């Protein structure tokens, strides 16, 4: 059988590459003759760099930058030397995985480190940049990123304002005179599956603020600050992107990118699936195996497994998704083309234990699945 193995990362446990390898090992543990095609996936968030450099044959470069709270860290970005293409994840320098839950601080958190990564890529000679917006710990609307590129934000008295989430309401004017001139020569693609606008009930603060530490009683304050920033940017640039799809991505980061750098926005899943030739592999397959850490009914539409299932459904190829945790009714998943969603946890254990043993659990779940498939195949032959 030909089996396409295309998982997303199991966040906090396995990268998409490690997950694909675990599934491969599980299948070959039962029968090593199966033709396994591994296509590690991502949607613009964590794992995007690994997925793209695996597909295009790049490598990682490391840079000393700041984390969301301004602490020094070493972060990686992808580099494809042949095409001078850099692949940057917002999560690498400005992401939730870099902070403990008690460290979440939407007032102070900044995307400054992501700007530093871009500067390192430009210093290396980058002509094309793919920037994934998923997984940020920030609601600074990308002001930290812009500050790293030379932009200054000023209050009514002309004093410089710190570029962070809690300062957006103080910004009265913007100085872009020292913005890095090399940016105009960069072909910038934003990889993101978030289509939310900047403001309102579906905006950056209301929808994504809570996961970054914004409490219920703080939403109004942060929303007001974001609205002030949007108006200030409109006055400075003469453009208004606060209702543009994707402007609310990564705590408003999408808005600043649209307003100052005019990038091309593309679905992260679509970008990676096209680069990998995923559809061509799927239409020739007997099964597709995918998965990620958590699959729940409320967030199905933004999930890699559903994107894969939709492609497979066009060719009547069954799609099976493995998950560390399943939450809610999976009827919608079936309607989208997922044949079944299978848990990888096979006995009672804590979340910590499950994440620490994710690779082994996924391998065993894959072995169980292929054993059942082969048993049914043998019965049908008889």
Instruction: Tell whether the model's pLDDT for residue 180 goes beyond 70.
Output: yes
The CATH 3.40.50.10350 portion of the chain extends over 2-39+277-381
Work out the angle between the directed axes of helices 16-30 and 48-56 (0-180°, nearest 10).
70
The model's pLDDT over 252-302, given as tens digits with 9 standing for 90+, comes to 999 999 999 989 999 888 999 999 999 999 999 999 999 988 887 655 666
pLDDT above 60 for 381: no
Residues 104-128, mean pLDDT to the nearest whole number? 97
The rounded mean pLDDT for the chain is 92
pTM over 0.85: yes
Q: Which CATH class is domain 2-39+277-381?
A: alpha beta
Regarding the domain with residue range 48-268, which homologous superfamily does it belong to in the CATH classification?
Glycerate kinase, domain 2 (3.90.1510.10)
SS3 292: strand
Report CA 76 to chain centroid distance, whole Å: 15
Quote the percentage of the chain above a pLDDT of 90.
Answer: 73
Question: Which are the contacts of 340, defined by CB distance < 8 A and separation ≥ 6?
Answer: 320, 321, 334
- Give the model confidence (pLDDT) of 345-356 as tens digits: 877 777 788 788
Sign of the torsion formed by the C-alpha atoms of 131, 135, 137 and 142: positive
279 vs 377: CA distance, rounded Å: 26
CATH 3.90.1510.10 residue window(s) in the chain: 48-268
- Tens digit of pLDDT for each residue in 223-246? 999 999 999 999 999 999 999 999
What's the pLDDT at 228? 98
Determine how β-strand 128-132 pairs with β-strand 187-191: parallel
Instruction: Dump pLDDT digits (tens) for 312-343.
Output: 999 999 999 999 888 777 777 777 788 888 88
| Closest among 375, 379, 381, 374 to 33, alpha carbons compared | 374
Beta-carbon contacts of 382 under 8 Å, excluding residues fewer than 6 positions away, are none
């Amino acid at each position: 059988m030909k089996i396409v193995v295309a998982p997303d990362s199991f966040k906090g446990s396995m990268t998409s590459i490690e997950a694909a390898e675990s599934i491969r090992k599980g299948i070959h543990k039962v029968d090593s003759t199966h033709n396994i095609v591994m296509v590690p996936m991502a949607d613009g968030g964590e794992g995007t760099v690994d997925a793209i450099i695996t597909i295009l044959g790049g490598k990682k470069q490391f840079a000393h930058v700041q984390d969301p709270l301004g602490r020094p860290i070493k972060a990686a970005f992808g580099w494809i030397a042949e095409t001078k293409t850099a692949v940057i994840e917002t999560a690498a320098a400005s992401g939730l995985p870099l902070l403990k839950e008690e460290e979440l601080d939407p007032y102070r958190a900044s995307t400054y480190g992501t700007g530093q990564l871009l500067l390192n890529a430009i210093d290396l000679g980058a002509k094309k940049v793919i920037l994934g917006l998923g997984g940020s710990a920030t609601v600074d609307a990308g002001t930290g990123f812009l500050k790293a590129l030379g932009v200054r934000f000023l209050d009514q008295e002309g004093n410089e304002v710190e570029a962070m989430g809690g300062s957006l309401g103080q910004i009265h004017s913007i100085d872009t005179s020292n913005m890095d001139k090399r940016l105009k020569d960069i072909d910038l693609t934003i990889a993101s599956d978030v289509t939310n606008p900047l403001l309102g009930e579906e905006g950056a603060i209301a929808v994504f603020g809570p996961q970054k530490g914004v409490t219920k009683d703080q939403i109004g304050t942060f929303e007001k600050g974001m609205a002030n920033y949007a108006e200030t940017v409109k006055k400075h640039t003469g453009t208004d992107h606060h209702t543009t799809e994707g402007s609310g991505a990564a705590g408003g980061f999408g808005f600043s990118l649209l307003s100052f750098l005019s990038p091309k926005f593309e679905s992260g899943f679509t970008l990676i699936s096209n680069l990998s030739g995923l559809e061509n592999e799927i239409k020739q397959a007997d099964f597709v195996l995918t998965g990620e850490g958590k699959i729940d009914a409320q967030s199905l539409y933004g999930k890699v497994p559903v994107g894969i299932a939709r492609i497979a459904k066009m060719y009547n190829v069954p799609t099976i998704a493995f998950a560390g945790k399943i939450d809610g009714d999976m009827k919608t998943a079936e309607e989208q083309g997922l044949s079944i969603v299978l848990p990888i946890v096979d006995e009672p254990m804590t979340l910590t234990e499950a994440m620490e043993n994710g690779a082994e659990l996924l391998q065993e779940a894959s072995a169980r699945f292929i054993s059942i498939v082969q048993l049914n195949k043998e019965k049908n032959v008889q």
